Structure 1
Amino acid sequence: MFNKTTDQTAPPTGGPPARPSNTKSVFSSDLKITGEISSIGDIEMLGDIDGNVTARSLVVGAEGRMNGTITAETVDVRGKVDGQISANSFTLRAAAQVAADITYHTLIIESGGQIEGHFAKHKT
Structure 2
Amino acid sequence: MARKPLPASFIAGNVRLVGELISDGDVQLDGALQGEARVDRLTLGETGSVEGSITGDSVEIRGRVRGQITARSVRLLGTADVEGDVTHTELIVEAGARFVGRSLRLEAAPQALSVVTAAE
TM-score between both structures, scaled by the size of structure 2 = 0.84
Given candidates 81, 95, 101, the residue that maps to 1:97 is 81
- The answer for the alignment partner of 2:112 in structure 1 is none
In the TM superposition, 1:51-66 aligns within 5 A as 51-66=35-50
Aligned equivalent of 2:23, options 39, 49, 55: 39
Out of 80, 90, 100, the position equivalent to 1:106 is 90
Whether the aligned pair in 2 keeps the contact of 1:21 and 1:40 (CA below 8 Å) is no
Contact kept, 8 Å, 1:33 with 1:49, in 2: the verdict is yes
Displaced runs of 4 or more, over 6 A = none
Larger RCO: 1 or 2 (CA < 8 Å, sep 6+): 2
Q: Partners of 2:81 and 2:65 in 1: how far apart?
A: 7
Counterpart-to-counterpart distance in 1, 2:104 and 2:6? 29
Deviations 1:53-75 (A, max 9, x none): 11110011001011111001000
Whichever residue aligns with residue 77 of structure 2, its letter is R
Identity within the alignment, %: 32
Give unmatched runs, 5+ long, in structure 2: 109-120
Q: Which residue of 1 aligns with 2:7?
A: 23
Say what the alpha-carbon RMSD is for the aligned residues: 1.6
Q: CA deviation at 1:32?
A: 0.3
Aligned amino acid, residue 85 of structure 2: D
TM-score, normalization by structure 1: 0.82
The residue aligned with 2:68 is 84
